[in-house]
Structure 1
Amino acid sequence: MDNLIEWDVKLFLYLNNLGTPKFDSFWLLITNEYYWIPTYVFIFLVIWEKYGWKKVFMIGASIGLMIVLTDTTSSIFKNWIQRPRPCRNPELDGLFRLVIEKCRGSYCYFSAHAANSFALATYLSILFYRNHKYAPILLFSWALLVSYSRIYVGVHFPLDILTGTFMGILTGWIFAKTLKYIL
């Protein structure tokens, strides 16, 4: 386990230090969930166009419940594992670039950003694939960008992202299959 943690820290330091101030504003934009609101509105318009208003509410409620579940699961794991965020780890002071203004939260395992974005990407990919063959490529590219942004800005280790990715894909798949069964 110590070797895995050591590898994780080294990979984090390598990936984080690839960044340059020239790209910081781009990654800050990607990591901020509020900048994605127009994208979410567009997604709901596509859902409305495909399924109609009645099912939009059911799908919206399903997505909301899915995000609450991934977010809550991430919080439970963070408080259980209690692995300090890179920006809260005094052993790493001065070894990486902290791009984000404020380091929120004490613990990092596992990433709620990764879990939420991959849950949504998986869910919507299953929902849209028949009519929109390229949707999974766009959605998973978006989830990868959001997830990597957390390493770039200095708040998550790669294992946080990998675990969040796995949890998100699993949760998104379960919710999408359940919704398809209900519909």
Structure 2
Amino acid sequence: MFEFLINTDHNLFTTINSAFTHPWADAFFFWVTDLHKTIYFKILIVPFVVFLFIRKFKLKGLLLFFVLILALGLNDFIGGRVKHVVERERPFSTSGVEAIQRSRAGGYSFPSNHSSNMFTFAAYTSYFIPQAKVPLYLIAASVGYSRVYNGVHFPSDVICGSIFGWLWGNLFARLSQRILQALQNRKKTT
């Protein structure tokens, strides 16, 4: 059974990485894979999210943003530790797998921290700003797909990273919601 799953993962990787390619997709997925590291993300998306949080929650929106940063930092840390426990090689380093590597990556492959971080960001932010759900999840899914397309992750790395990120983002969103309710209740009693 395990061998079947590994073979399916490798075959799906090869299909995405080699068969479904086009020069425009090469350029797009090269750019989107590290979207969160671009100046556009840092000067447009991040301030826009802060603005949306503050517009909806006033000063408590800053608290929500700081909890989001905490969630992302812990998510990235945990993912890095899991990589060192699992020690799964990247597709371009895996024997028997032909990979076209379109972007740089180092270290181990499982789970995809890019996917996990983007799904944490999407889940947490869309919990409080539901209008942003579709674009945020489209961006997160595009980043995840790009990791396979660019030859640096197997599909299972991305799927597991995405699921963990979604769960993590929702966990922190619910914790933040409880904090907001506690602050509201405290305000009513004083």
Give the TM-score taking structure 2 as reference length: 0.86
Matched, 1:163 2:168: no
Number of residue pairs matched? Answer: 174
Matched, 1:149 2:152: no
Superimposed CA distance per residue, residues 8-57 of structure 1 (whole angstroms, 9 cap, x where no aligned partner): 011001011112233212111101122222212211121122222x3233
Matched, 1:34 2:37: yes
Structure 1 CA distance for aligned equivalents of residues 60 and 129 of structure 2: 14
Q: 2:135 aligns with which of 125, 134, 138?
A: 138
Matched, 1:43 2:49: yes
Structure 2 CA distance for aligned equivalents of residues 64 and 43 of structure 1: 12
The 5 Å alignment of 1:67-146 reads 67-92=72-97, 95-100=98-103, 102=104, 104-129=105-130, 132=131, 135-146=132-143
Structure 2 CA distance for aligned equivalents of residues 176 and 80 of structure 1: 28
Give the TM-score taking structure 1 as reference length: 0.89
Quick one: which amino acid aligns to residue 24 of structure 1?
Answer: D
Helix, strand or coil at the partner of 2:118: helix
Give unpaired runs (5+ residues) of structure 1.
Answer: none
Superimposed CA distance per residue, residues 92-139 of structure 1 (whole angstroms, 9 cap, x where no aligned partner): 2xx232111x3x32310000011111111111111112xx3xx21111
Quick one: which amino acid aligns to residue 25 of structure 1?
Answer: A
> Displaced runs of 4+ in structure 1, greater than 3 A?
none
Quick one: which amino acid aligns to residue 127 of structure 1?
Answer: F
What is the deviation of 1:90?
Answer: 4.1
Quick one: which amino acid aligns to residue 175 of structure 2?
Answer: T
Equivalent residues of 1:88, 1:106 under 8 A apart: no
What is the deviation of 1:64?
Answer: 1.1
Q: 2:22 aligns with which of 15, 20, 23?
A: 20
Structure 2 CA distance for aligned equivalents of residues 19 and 173 of structure 1: 33
Quick one: which amino acid aligns to residue 153 of structure 1?
Answer: N
Matched, 1:64 2:69: yes
Percent identity over the alignment? 29
Equivalent residues of 1:121, 1:140 under 8 A apart: yes
Report what 2:3 is aligned to.
2
